[in-house]
């Protein structure tokens, strides 16, 4: 009798959990459907008010001068034999020095690391990559080309092409997600891991399922599943939504730090206005749900996690929870007043914290039980 009651209790608990999870997802999908309807209404309203301007957007033909600033490094290209893809990257610092590899987020490209390229080239061979689907790197058309395993393999192939077997890996946003995954799968190739405003993927999954407020903040994940429509909404009125993402008071760069200059903004518009650029960036989201949950999740490299206090897209509580998956030294720094784009709006603070992390523990054994 006791066994029957125990089994019944387990069944009820399992059923309750499934109902709760189903409720969460139903709420969010319903919310995202509402967002889609709102976006359609907004599009219709724009057509009524500005019928000619709404569908006017143009490819920026000439890169702004800041993209050719020689102080940032040299523009290079590599074609990876395994995937056949060509990658663009900007490199500075002496060859042979330890490699510091930078992975950008959405919707950015190598240029988001401009302050760090200048800062760390004195001690490192610094390399900021245009990830697949971004900037001057190749843009695979298939959504399956953006699976986690392919993105992680890209990092491995690039490190090895550069002549290294390990690196200090730095990632922000989506680049942070790929950095976490690379450190999980290739711990021997990561001397130190530095992540900016990107929770460990398992933390994000667990936290979002238990906190509807985070699911609502992540509603764009679901909106971006739609084909073509998100690209259209980013493009109308000459990329007005894209400009707002980087400059608005709620989500933009520089609310208490360095503002994005007109030329900086033009650099992003140049990169993202190219044919297929928005589709490549959005394809990261369109393949997300087929890649989770993770089968491996422990990180054995020393980790620095930097978090902008005023991130509009990610709740701060996830930052501390990342500690559960780290089997080495872990340092967390919350940067007051910083936005989601913290390496751009608070570069001095970010660079100082990275230097401190790089210097601490030198000569100490890298791994612990």
Which are the catalytic amino acids?
173, 285, 340
Sheet holding 303-308, edge to edge: 74-79, 86-92, 125-129, 99-103, 167-172, 190-196, 303-308, 330-335
**SS3 (DSSP) at 247:** helix
Tokens read off for 233 = 């909404």
Cis peptide, bond prior to residue 107, ω within 30 of zero:
yes
CB 252 within 8 A of CB 260: yes
Paired sense of beta strands 86-92 and 74-79, if any = antiparallel
Shortest CA distance to 292 belongs to which of 182, 194, 203? 203
The answer for 127, left when phi > 0, alpha when psi is -120 to 50, beta otherwise, is beta
Q: Which helix (H) or strand (E) holds 356?
A: helix 347-359
Shortest CA distance to 186 belongs to which of 161, 165, 158? 165
Q: At a CB cut-off of 8 Å and minimum separation 6, what does 229 contact?
A: 36, 39
CB 130 within 8 A of CB 137: yes
Q: Which residues pair with 100 in a beta bridge?
A: 126, 168
Taking residue 62's Cβ as centre, other Cβ atoms within 10 Å add up to 8
**SS3 (DSSP) at 145:** helix
**SS3 (DSSP) at 338:** coil
Cis peptide, bond prior to residue 293, ω within 30 of zero:
yes
């Amino acid at each position: 009798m006791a066994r029957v009651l125990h089994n019944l209790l387990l069944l009820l608990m399992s059923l309750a959990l499934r109902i709760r999870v189903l409720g969460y997802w139903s709420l969010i999908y319903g919310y995202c459907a509402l967002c889609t309807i709102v976006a359609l209404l907004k599009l219709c309203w724009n057509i009524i008010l500005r019928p000619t301007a709404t569908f006017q957007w143009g490819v920026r033909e000439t890169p702004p001068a800041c993209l050719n600033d020689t102080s940032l490094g040299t523009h290079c290209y590599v074609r990876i034999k395994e995937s056949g893809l060509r990658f663009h990257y900007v490199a500075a610092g002496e060859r042979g020095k330890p490699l510091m590899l930078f992975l950008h987020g959405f919707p950015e490209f190598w240029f988001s690391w401009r302050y760090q390229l200048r800062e760390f080239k004195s001690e490192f061979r610094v390399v900021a990559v245009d990830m697949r689907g971004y900037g001057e790197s190749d843009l695979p058309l298939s959504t399956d080309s953006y699976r986690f395993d392919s993105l992680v393999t890209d990092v491995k192939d690039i490190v090895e092409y550069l002549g290294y077997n390990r690196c200090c890996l730095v990632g922000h946003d989506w680049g942070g997600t790929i950095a976490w995954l690379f450190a999980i799968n290739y711990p021997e190739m990561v001397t130190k891991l530095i992540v900016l405003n990107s929770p460990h993927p398992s933390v994000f999954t667990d936290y979002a399922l238990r906190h509807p407020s985070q699911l609502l903040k992540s509603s764009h994940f679901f909106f971006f599943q739609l084909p073509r429509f998100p690209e259209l909404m980013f493009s109308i009125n000459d990329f007005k939504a894209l400009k707002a993402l980087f400059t608005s008071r709620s989500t933009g760069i520089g609310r208490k730090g360095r503002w994005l200059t007109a030329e900086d903004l033009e650099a992003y518009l140049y990169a993202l206005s190219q044919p297929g650029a928005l589709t490549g960036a959005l394809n990261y989201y369109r393949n997300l749900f087929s890649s989770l949950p993770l089968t491996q999740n422990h990180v054995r490299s020393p980790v620095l996690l930097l978090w902008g206090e005023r991130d509009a897209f990610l709740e701060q509580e996830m930052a501390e929870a990342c500690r559960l998956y780290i089997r080495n030294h872990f340092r967390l720094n919350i940067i007051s007043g910083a936005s989601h784009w913290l390496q751009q709006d608070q570069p001095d603070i970010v660079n100082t914290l990275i230097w401190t992390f790089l210097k601490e523990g030198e000569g100490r054994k890298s791994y612990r039980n």
